[in-house]
Chain A
Amino acid sequence: MIQLTNQAIDPTEVLRTVQSPAAGAVVLFLGTVRADEDSDGRKTIALDYECYPEMAAQEIQRLEQEARNQWRLSGCAIVHRWGRLDVGQISVAVAVSAAHRQAAFAAAEWLIDRIKAVVPIWKQACFDDGSRQWIHPGLNAASELQDP
């Protein structure tokens, strides 16, 4: 199951989609919004996610296929949320089931690493002073640019 949603992610529901009699192991990874503080003392109160929906779904699909080529998986579910998320809320869920735990752990870790590297989804930090900042790894100077 692959899903991009602006609704709250229910981990139980995600897990249910990968459970199978063939699986002896189920691994669930959840990414959650962390209360951060930057060097200026601004506190992150929320993250606002934007995605390129058509391409993000396609890229996630491709990653699932690559994971299935590398490991023998029983089930695989990836759900990413977009829109504004408060601290503590779940932004992404990756659930993988396999006959044994090694494959399930390895595939889940590989998937979240690849999702963060290639899927066209971006987050903007919303700070307690009302300011916002796009987060783009490797683009620090530009992300400091604010609206005029």
Chain B
Amino acid sequence: MRVRVRFFAVAKQLAGLERLELELPEGSTIAQLRQQLAAAAPRLRAVLPQMSFALAAQYATEQTPVVPDVEVACIPPVSGG
């Protein structure tokens, strides 16, 4: 399945793009997506362990299954306020 990942802040800066499409096996989880991302965007590798992920604009866990056509966001440590 094709999954679109959206980047913000330092992740966007490092990846050099705002969105990236990944090809993942059906039933993949956020943990597997994280691994694929390290291969697809090597410049993100150093910070990937500190990134959170959101699925459909809600925080996901490593076990959350990724769903086709539902936006995944790569969320660096937040610094609002």
Contact = CB atoms under 8 A, between A and B. Distances in A.
Interface in B28-81: 46-47, 50, 54, 57-59, 73, 75-81
B24 interface: no
Interface residues of B, number: 21
A136 B73 contact: no
Given A116-B80, A119-B78, A55 B73 contact: yes
Nearest to B71: A54
Contacts of B10: 122, 134, 136, 139, 142-143, 145
Contacts of A117: 78
B20 interface: no
B58 A58 contact: yes
Is the contact region of chain A dominated by helix, strand, or loop, or is it mixed?
mixed
Interface residues of A, number: 34
Interface in A27-65: 31, 49-52, 54-56, 58
B14 to A, nearest CB: 6
Most chain B Cβ neighbours within 10 Å, of A52, A121, A145: A52
B81 A92 contact: yes
A119 B54 CA distance: 12
Interface string B1-39: 000001011100110000000000000000000000000
A136 B80 contact: no
Contacts of B46: 141-142, 145
B79 A120 contact: no
Interface of B: 6, 8-10, 13-14, 46-47, 50, 54, 57-59, 73, 75-81
18 contacts: A31-B81, A52-B6, A52-B73, A52-B75, A55-B58, A56-B80, A80-B80, A92-B80, A115-B80, A119-B80, A120-B8, A123-B79, A136-B78, A138-B77, A139-B10, A139-B47, A142-B50, A147-B13
